[in-house]
Amino acid sequence: MLTIPTLRSTPALASLNQIIGPQRATRLREAANEIHHRLDGGTLWHVNSTPAGGGVAEMLRTLLPLYAELGVEARWAVVGGDETFFAITKRLGVALYGSDGDGGPLGPNERAAYLAALSPSAESLVQLVDRRDVVILHDHQTAGLVATLADQVASVHWRCHIGVDEPTPASDRGWDFLAPMLNAAETLIFSVEAHVPARLRDRDIQVLPPFISPFDAKNCDLTVEAIDACLAHCGLSPESAGGRAPAVLDTGAGPVRLRSAPSVLSDGPRRLGDPLITQVSRWDRLKDMAGVLTAVTAHVPRGHLALVGPDPAAIADDVEQEFWYADCVERWRGLPAAQRRRVSLISLSMTDPTENALLVNAIQRASDVVVQKSLAEGFGLTVAEAMWKSRLVIGSAVGGIRAQITDGVDGFLLPDPSDLRWLGQIITAALAGEVDRQEIGRRAHQRVRSDFLPDREVTTTASILAPERMATR
């Protein structure tokens, strides 16, 4: 089943131009014109596997309205699948991260089931596309569409947002499954150069990091009052704070209604004066929420930890979230009462993506330290989001996190993601004033402004579709 997400057409170009300055704004307009001329009346399609949750969906909710303002015809389609399809794609995704996951096979039977589940989406797309169209397929859930679409459109490009820094037997099995389906793709686009497998390095490869949207509800500036209201809504207000959050908040992204109560597991409000330590991510083994829980409760003497993720039942293309959320709950329940009191497990509703984004924004802005202790990572947009908010971020030295943080300059890198004691020590040092959180936060913001905003997406796409490059294929 193929779906076309509904997008809010919020003007963003003027706001972006103010942030990036006149030179980059001019190049952005030129790049959009190049894409428009290359399409020659066709459409630029982006295809992924979920309309909400995860970095790809968030980027597309910014990118498609921006393209519309720039005069580029662009559309977004979401492929569907059955339970078997998402079980296979979860196994495949974990394999590409270098791990065995559930240990199940990725052989001919699984490939046949995967392609069969994609078949209805492929048939629907064939009815929608035009010979002049360009299609960009995102991640392993869509790779099986390459061959079908290649004969129907001007060009098909496949984009990979995940990977592993060093190949493993598991990642090799993942690429054994995936690589044969990519033969007809014109370009293979990776977020991190190190994630390109050796078997694909003779192909036309482009490296394109993801971006954050600085003017949407996830990253726009917020007043102190709006932040406090969101903290109250999520049960993170200090114990002395009273009153209820207003139903509607005025934000830089427009009015946002707070109507979906998060699921909050805690033993009471955050203590007055306790600094806030936060990790925002999916409930996923590779994001290691449980490791952050242990590191803070065992090795950080003061502070309140917020582990913030989506409703674990709400992400269709990730069938393991409920298991890993339950694992965190079990570990939390096993803590001594004094340590349990220092932790909140917060699951945000996915019913309204704008409300969800606003709550994440507020929690990150209220945080003294933001952590991203991934065991493996494709890119990790939550790092760039927190850096944009001038937070001190501590991330594992894996995947795209290393491409965002310069250790000791605009954040800190954890060399060994399993070293919980070191993580606790650097958090403790940061909270004790042993590092200049304000200066590091300032540098972090500047890094994101320079390298991880939407104009880079458009300018790189223009270069990928340049006629002279197409002619050499």
Which residue has 């030295």 as its token pair?
397
Q: Is residue 291 part of a domain?
A: yes
| pLDDT score at 55 | 86
Q: Is residue 1 part of a domain?
A: no
CATH of the domain at 177: 3.40.50.2000
Which runs of consecutive H residues, i.e. helices, occur in 40-167? 55-69, 83-96, 108-128, 146-150
Query: What's the half-sphere exposure (Cβ side, CA atoms, 13 Å) at 134?
Result: 23
Backbone CA torsion sign across 413, 415, 416, 422: negative
Q: Are residues 297 and 188 in the same domain?
A: no
Question: Is the distance from CB of 380 to CB of 417 less than 8 angstroms?
Answer: no
Q: Are residues 178 and 46 in the same domain?
A: yes
| pLDDT score at 73 | 97
Q: Are residues 189 and 243 in the same domain?
A: no
Largest CA distance in the chain: 66
Q: Are residues 422 and 290 in the same domain?
A: yes
The tokens for 117 are 């589940």
Q: Are residues 388 and 423 in the same domain?
A: yes
Q: Are residues 22 and 130 in the same domain?
A: yes
Q: Is residue 79 part of a domain?
A: yes
Distinct helix (H) and strand (E) counts, the chain? 17, 15
pTM for the model stands at 0.91
CA 240/CA 271 separation, integer angstroms: 8
Q: Is residue 216 part of a domain?
A: no
The tokens for 46 are 């982006």
Q: Are residues 206 and 238 in the same domain?
A: no
Q: Is residue 217 part of a domain?
A: no
Q: Is residue 267 part of a domain?
A: yes
Structural domain for 460, as ranges: 13-211+453-471
What residues contact residue 223 under an 8 Å CB cut-off, 6+ apart?
250
Work out how many domains the chain is built from and give that number: 2
Q: Are residues 245 and 111 in the same domain?
A: no
Q: Are residues 342 and 417 in the same domain?
A: yes
Give 289's DSSP letter: H
Q: Are residues 147 and 290 in the same domain?
A: no
Q: Is residue 149 part of a domain?
A: yes
What CA–CA distances, in Å, run from 11 to 25, 35, 64, 75, 462? 15, 20, 11, 17, 22
Q: Are residues 307 and 436 in the same domain?
A: yes
Q: Is residue 51 part of a domain?
A: yes
Q: Are residues 166 and 302 in the same domain?
A: no
CA 41/CA 169 separation, integer angstroms: 45
How many residues does this entry show for the chain?
473
Question: Is the distance from CB of 163 to CB of 399 less than 8 angstroms?
Answer: yes
Question: Is the distance from CB of 383 to CB of 412 less than 8 angstroms?
Answer: no
Q: Tell me if residue 221 falls in helix, strand or coil.
A: coil
What residues contact residue 44 under an 8 Å CB cut-off, 6+ apart?
35, 67, 72, 73, 74, 75, 133, 134, 136, 461
| pLDDT score at 294 | 98
Chunked mean pLDDT (size 10), the chain, 473 residues: 84 91 98 97 97 87 95 97 94 95 92 97 97 98 98 97 96 98 98 97 97 93 94 88 73 90 94 96 95 98 97 78 95 97 97 93 98 95 97 97 97 98 98 97 98 97 79 45
